[in-house]
Amino acid sequence: QKEVEQDPGPLSVPEGAIVSLNCTYSNSAFQYFMWYRQYSRKGPELLMYTYSSGNKEDGRFTAQVDKSSKYISLFIRDSQPSDSATYLCAMRKTSYDKVIFGPGTSLSVIP
């Protein structure tokens, strides 16, 4: 079993839709959670980060962590064609530990 799992998609939604992207993980020691966005043929860039459980909002993006279920989510409101990318979840146990990345979910937002 992989430590971090994501549905690879592709996920295709119309412009303006609410998008939900999810990751599950197996190691309860993970405490730091991140979402990276990767455009085609580019390197990933950090989108959001959270520590432990709870929600964090940044503009149209909301990151949610449920440690009891070992489940994290990224919600995108009013999705735009410019949101079309692959979204990678990432997590680590401590601030000094290596980052473990999920395989990514490919999202297409259709105008």
Please give the residue ranges that form the binding site for other proteins (CB under 8 A): 4, 8, 32, 34, 41-46, 49, 51, 88, 94-95, 98-99, 101-104
Residue-wise burial string across 58-77, b where 16 or more C-beta atoms lie within 10 A, e elsewhere:
eeebbbbbeeeeeebbbbbe
Nearest to 102 by CA among 33, 5, 12: 5
What is the smallest separation between the CB atom of 83 and other proteins, expressed in angstroms? 19
What is the smallest separation between the CB atom of 111 and other proteins, expressed in angstroms? 27
Nearer CB in complex with other proteins: 98/111: 98
